[in-house]
């Protein structure tokens, strides 16, 4: 009888080994494990947490990534010393920061692999000037960034002089990220109570794309005056335009925006910075999501996103299939992420 009790305790020890090798075995453990094994029920289920932000970065944004790569290579081939401006646009629910981080953390290192002796200095331009600001007004705002603050700069120097003095001494490439919202393009760049009450925002009342192209004109003129950096060092400005006005920019306006960018690039002025307008971010289709699940399983094998349990990835794939129960369904990136995060897993 004593030996039988020892056998039961030993079996209990083995049953909890996967959870905690030093965990004590309590009365009923063996019975509980028998029930779980018999009926396939989990002792406890909890909300799943993704391993890191890269997990969702890989959800299909292939058009934007490919356009960035082509634009970058063209910029380098031109041997210009002027800055490169990259404009990303789309509804704010498309989680712009995911693709911006992907371009910074994954794509740029690959494109600069022959230039590893020059590190990339990323900085975020939080306190941006309003979009209607004249080109000269940008210097005061950008001079406040940590990257451009130096104790050696003379106090009497202008904001533009402070930046111009410091930029040539940078040891590597300079990457500046910034975000604007379409609601900021209303008259005067402010949000009055009347405008805030209008769910359609400025662009529904004004059928033209002029507020945005006028802003781009001012922005490119500012970067035109940026001091040249010799030695192959690049200046890249990643700017995100998030539509928070309640409606998407119509295809007609997006087409006119791209046309404006094309005409800009056709100018012969070599002093102009490069302007790359990426395709707008759109909701995720069922095909995009399913390809993403397959990609997750592939890169999980080489530990690029943080080692995940293959069974857990299978559960995510099943959940995605249930989310897209209609083949023509599309979901903004934010909503898709919220739905995936509701997956419960056994522990």
- Helix axis angle for 2-16 and 29-39, nearest 10°, is 60
CA distances in angstroms from 99 to 34, 66, 106, 133, listed in the order given = 47, 12, 10, 27
Both tokens assigned to 322: 């249930």
- Distance between CA atoms of residues 2 and 9, nearest Å: 11
Q: How confident is the model at residue 334 (pLDDT cuts 50, 70, 90)?
A: very high
Q: What are the pLDDT digits (tens) for 280-307?
A: 899 999 989 988 888 888 877 766 555 5
Hey, is 62 helix, strand or coil?
Answer: helix
pLDDT of residue 311: 75
pTM, entire model: 0.76
Both tokens assigned to 283: 């909701």
Domains within the chain, CATH numbers bracketed: 2-43 (no CATH), 48-52+285-346 (no CATH), 63-280 (3.40.50)
The larger pLDDT score, comparing residue 40 to residue 80, is at 80
**Phi, psi (5° rounding) for residue 190?**
-120, 170
Q: What are the pLDDT digits (tens) for 148-188?
A: 776 666 656 788 888 888 887 777 888 999 999 988 887 55
Alpha helices in the chain, H assignment, sequence order:
2-16, 29-39, 54-57, 62-77, 96-102, 108-111, 138-142, 159-166, 193-197, 201-205, 210-224, 251-265, 286-300, 310-323, 333-341
Q: What are the pLDDT digits (tens) for 190-213?
A: 333 323 333 333 333 344 578 888
Q: What are the pLDDT digits (tens) for 23-66?
A: 444 444 443 443 344 344 544 666 666 666 678 887 878 899 99
pLDDT of residue 99: 93
Q: Is the dihedral of CA 98, 100, 105, 111 positive or negative?
A: positive
pLDDT of residue 150: 66
């Amino acid at each position: 009888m004593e030996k039988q009790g020892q056998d039961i305790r030993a079996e209990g020890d083995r049953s909890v080994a996967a959870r905690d090798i030093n965990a004590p075995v309590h009365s009923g453990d063996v019975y509980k494990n028998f029930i779980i094994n018999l009926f396939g029920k989990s002792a406890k289920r909890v909300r799943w947490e993704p391993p890191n932000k890269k997990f969702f970065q890989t959800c299909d944004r292939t058009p934007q990534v490919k356009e960035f790569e082509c634009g970058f290579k063209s910029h380098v081939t031109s041997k210009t010393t002027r800055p490169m401006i990259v404009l990303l646009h789309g509804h704010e629910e498309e989680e712009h920061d995911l693709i911006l981080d992907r371009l910074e953390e994954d794509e740029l290192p690959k494109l600069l692999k022959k230039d590893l002796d020059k590190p990339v200095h990323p900085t975020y331009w939080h306190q941006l000037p309003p979009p209607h600001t004249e080109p000269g007004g940008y210097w005061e705002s950008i001079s406040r960034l940590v990257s451009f603050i130096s104790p050696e700069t003379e106090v009497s120097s202008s904001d533009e002089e402070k930046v111009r003095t410091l930029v040539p001494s940078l040891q590597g490439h300079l990457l500046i990220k910034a975000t604007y919202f379409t609601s900021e393009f209303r008259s005067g760049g402010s949000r009055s109570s009347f405008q805030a009450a209008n769910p359609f925002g400025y662009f529904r009342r004004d059928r033209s794309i002029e507020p945005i192209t006028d802003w781009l004109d001012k922005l490119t003129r500012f970067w035109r005056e940026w001091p040249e950096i010799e030695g192959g060092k690049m200046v890249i400005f990643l700017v995100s335009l998030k539509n928070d006005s309640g409606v998407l920019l119509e295809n007609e306006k997006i087409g006119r925006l791209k046309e404006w960018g094309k005409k800009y690039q056709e100018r012969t002025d070599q002093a102009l910075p490069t302007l790359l307008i990426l395709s707008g971010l759109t909701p995720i289709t069922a095909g995009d999501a399913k390809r993403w699940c397959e990609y997750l399983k592939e890169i999980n094998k080489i530990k690029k996103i943080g080692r995940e349990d293959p069974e857990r990835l299978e559960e995510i794939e099943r959940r995605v299939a249930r989310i897209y129960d209609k083949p023509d369904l599309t979901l903004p990136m934010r909503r898709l992420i919220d739905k995936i995060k509701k997956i419960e897993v056994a522990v």
